[in-house]
Amino acid sequence: MKQFHHLYIDGKWVEPSGEETRTLIDPTSEEPWATVTSGAGGDDVDRAVAAAKHAFPSFSTTSIDERVALIDRIIAAYERREAELSQLIAQEVGVPVSFKAQVTGPAGHMKVARDLIATYAFEQQLADTIVRREPIGVCALISPWNWPIQTSVIKVIYGIAAGCTMVLKPSDASPASGVALAEVMDEAGVPPGVFNLVIGRGSVVGEALSSHPDVDMVSFTGSTVAGSRVGQSAAQTVKRVCLELGGKSANIVLTDGDLEKAARWNIQRGFSNTGQSCHSPSRLLVHESQVEDILPFLEDEIARMRVGDPRNPATTHGPLVHAQQFKSVQNHIDVGLEEGGRLVVGGPGRVDGFDRGFFCRPTVLADVTPEMTLAKEEIFGPVLVVMPYQSEAEALDIANDSIFGLGGYVFSEDRRRGYEFACGLRAGRISFNGANTNSLTPMGGYKQSGIGRSMGVFGLEEYLEVKSIYGFEEEAHALPSL
């Protein structure tokens, strides 16, 4: 079996303070495939934060050209390993190798960050004042397992672009992906202490990072429950917190929307990554007169899915990440049926033909109403609920009747009508008629879906502080010291 028993601190692979290890289970075969350290604790966090703090004064003053060159080296090192990384996440968390965005996307995000800082105004003149944006300091980056490489890359690369130093804690479920990213950083020649990796339990390592007095900012992606704990811990030392949390996004098909297009897109988008995406359109809102018309399209699109070993290029959908997630999704399906949901396709149990692996049956339940559990809770699996509405006003109320506000989706043949409806949704990212999102624009949520934004200009500014320097009427670029 493979072994991942070291941490990466101050440019070196080091032993953790504790000797404990745990076994990683392949979600396809349910067989052990690696062991990983679980012995990291507060002392290791202290070492990593101290290394980042020591590196910050010099790295924060590097030129934009130096940071651009560093990001270029990281991109080159990363792209050399894309095929290997695809195989790794297939084994670690069950992401199909055919889902190429999981491994090609990170390089794209790095290029956006690199190009952005080349033109970003880190200084500007306001009256007799120079307003500067400066790196915030040492950043604690806590990433999830569902996009184990891309989410980490976004956090790390925007921190580097801003001139920050950092400590990354990958999810307990995807530590090997974190190790692979640290290897990329090491190969690219990231200066010692700028990037550090500490593997360990969230309740130990995550808590120590969030509450650490020498950490200036925490960026966390994960569940709302865990994010709330991170925020509480961070508040003890009054540090900035950026949170991307849960979602229960609605896809609203207005009465003039293309039912077939909306249905097929909802399955393609919502069940990609086996439904384990926080932006997943997991509530499909359809006018009550059109519900029966849209269901056959959902069934047909699900029939086109190819569930299987994620290492097989023909597979479109792999297993859920682990036994706990499989059990959670099964419980949600059972509850949905008990509360009166009508089973359209799928249901409890494994996909037919599989006696091992966490292969959940892609499931659609109709006749779901707002008070039902499945209309409220994030399921994080290939489960879609179809909810009827009588009027657009009611559809908007249903869509906004959630503690979450991460994403939203609208289908209509009338652009103005669709835009006006989208403006009424209380969510951070809205897609019209299945439009693709992009890495230039901000990602984040309303309400309990989070605080702050990632990606693009807004994502960069999460890692920057604002300073006003008064008494300088000349342009900032004319000052030799700047």
pLDDT digits (tens, 9 = 90+) for 181-219: 999 999 999 999 999 999 999 999 999 999 999 999 999
Does 467 have pLDDT greater than 80? yes
DSSP annotation of 191 = P
Say what the pTM is: 0.96
CATH 3.40.605.10 boundaries in the chain: 2-245+449-478
| CATH superfamily assigned to domain 2-245+449-478 | Aldehyde Dehydrogenase; Chain A, domain 1 (3.40.605.10)
d(CA 335, CA 383): 12
Name the catalytic one among 244, 301, 461, 462: 244
Reply yes or no on whether 244 is catalytic: yes
Does 465 have pLDDT greater than 70? yes
Our separate counts of H helices and E strands in the chain read 15, 23
SS3 (DSSP) at 431: strand
pLDDT digits (tens, 9 = 90+) for 31-87: 999 999 999 999 999 999 999 999 999 999 999 999 999 999 999 999 999 999 999
Q: How far is Cα of residue 348 from the mean position of the Cα atoms in its chain?
A: 27
Q: Which class in CATH covers the domain with range 249-432? A: alpha beta
pLDDT digits (tens, 9 = 90+) for 307-345: 999 999 999 999 999 999 999 999 999 999 999 999 999
Name the catalytic one among 278, 360, 378, 462: 278
CB–CB of 102/86 below 8 Å?
Answer: yes
Single out the residue of 153, 166, 110, 158 nearest to residue 133, CA to CA.
158
pLDDT recorded at residue 473 = 78
HSE-up of residue 122 (Cα within 13 Å, Cβ side): 20
Element (H, E) at 432: strand 429-432
d(CA 34, CA 52): 29
pLDDT over 90, % of the chain:
98
State the average pLDDT over residues 258-282: 98
In degrees rounded to 5, what are phi and psi of residue 474? -75, 160
CA dihedral (202, 156, 316, 90) positive or negative: negative
In degrees rounded to 5, what are phi and psi of residue 163? 95, 20
pLDDT digits (tens, 9 = 90+) for 401-435: 999 999 999 999 999 999 999 999 999 999 999 99
pLDDT recorded at residue 477 = 58
Does 476 have pLDDT greater than 60? no
User: What is the phi-psi region of residue 267: left when phi exceeds 0, alpha when psi lies from -120 to 50, beta otherwise?
Assistant: alpha
CATH 3.40.309.10 boundaries in the chain: 249-432
Question: What six digits make up the tokens of 32?
Answer: 């052990």
